[in-house]
């Protein structure tokens, strides 16, 4: 799986949807910006939470997008071990499979 390609495709598709429903998507953007400004959790922690939901929803595009954001926030590969352990405890085999995809995306996007 090429997570750079998946990430690019997800961004392009998101832009298309933004063009179709700009008022609605502006509201979503404002909510995202408000979350970014929250001081209770740093950007790296927020991206780990997004990655946890990406695993739970088994969403490759979400994994690519949030793995890149996690890297950009200074995320490290070692912290993904805790994420993987939680995913396996909560979801068993599917959690293991998709946690592995997060590590794969991290490795590809870090290069």
Structural domains of the chain, ranges and CATH numbers in brackets: 3-110 (1.20.1290.10)
Q: Looking at residues 6-33, what average pLDDT do you find? A: 93
Residue 12 gets the label, from left (phi > 0), alpha (psi -120 to 50) or beta, of alpha
- The answer to whether residues 47 and 75 touch, using CB atoms and an 8 Å cutoff, is yes
Alpha helices in the chain (DSSP H): 3-20, 22-37, 43-57, 60-72, 79-91, 93-110
* Distance in angstroms (rounded) separating the CA atoms of residues 86 and 97: 13
pLDDT at residue 61, as a whole number: 95
Mean confidence (pLDDT) of the chain: 93
pLDDT at residue 32, as a whole number: 86
User: pLDDT (tens digit, 9 = 90+) per residue, 82-104?
Assistant: 999 999 999 999 999 999 999 99
User: pLDDT (tens digit, 9 = 90+) per residue, 72-84?
Assistant: 999 999 999 999 9
Rounded to the nearest 5 degrees, what angle is found at the Cα of 57, between the Cα atoms of 53 and 63?
65
């Amino acid at each position: 799986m090429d997570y750079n390609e998946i990430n690019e495709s997800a961004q392009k598709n998101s832009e298309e949807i933004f063009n179709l429903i700009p008022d609605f998507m502006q509201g979503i953007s404002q909510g995202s910006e408000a979350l970014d400004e929250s001081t209770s959790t740093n950007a790296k922690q927020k991206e780990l939470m997004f990655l946890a939901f990406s695993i739970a929803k088994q969403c490759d595009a979400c994994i690519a997008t949030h793995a890149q954001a996690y890297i950009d926030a200074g995320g490290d590969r070692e912290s993904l071990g805790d994420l993987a352990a939680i995913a396996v405890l909560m979801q068993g085999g599917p959690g293991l499979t998709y946690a592995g995809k997060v590590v794969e995306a991290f490795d590809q996007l870090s290069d």
